[in-house]
Homo-oligomer: A and B are copies of this chain.
Amino acid sequence: MLQTAQRSSETIKTKAVPHERFLEAFRWMLLARTFEEKLVSLYRGGLITGGVYIGKGQEAVSVACGLFLQKGDIFAPLIRDQAGRSAFGEPLVDVARTYLGSRQGPMRGRDGNIHRGLPRQGQLAMISHLGAMVSVTVGALMAKRFKGEKNFIGLSCIGEGGMQTGSFHEGMNLAAVEQVPLVIVATNNHYAYSTPNEREFACAELVDRAKGYGFEGYNLDGTDLSACLDVIGSAVKRARAGRPPQLLVASTLRLSGHGEHDDASYVTDEIKREPFAQDCLKRADKLIVDLNLVDAKRLQGWRDDAAAQVDQAITTAQKEAAPDANEDWCAISTRALVDQAQ
Contact = CB atoms under 8 A, between A and B. Distances in A.
Given A212-B203, A213-B203, A166 B164 contact: no
Interface string A192-210: 0000001111111010111
A171 to B, nearest CB: 9
A158 to B, nearest CB: 13
Contacts of A204: 2, 211, 214
Contacts of A244: 202
Nearest to A210: B212
A5 interface: no
A179 interface: yes
Nearest to A172: B169
A177 interface: yes
A42 to B, nearest CB: 37
Interface of A: 2, 131, 164-170, 173, 176-177, 179, 198-204, 206, 208-214, 244
Given A168-B169, A202-B214, A204-B214, 19 more contacts: A2-B204, A2-B208, A131-B166, A164-B169, A164-B170, A164-B173, A166-B166, A169-B169, A177-B198, A177-B201, A179-B202, A201-B213, A202-B213, A203-B211, A203-B212, A209-B212, A209-B213, A210-B212, A211-B212
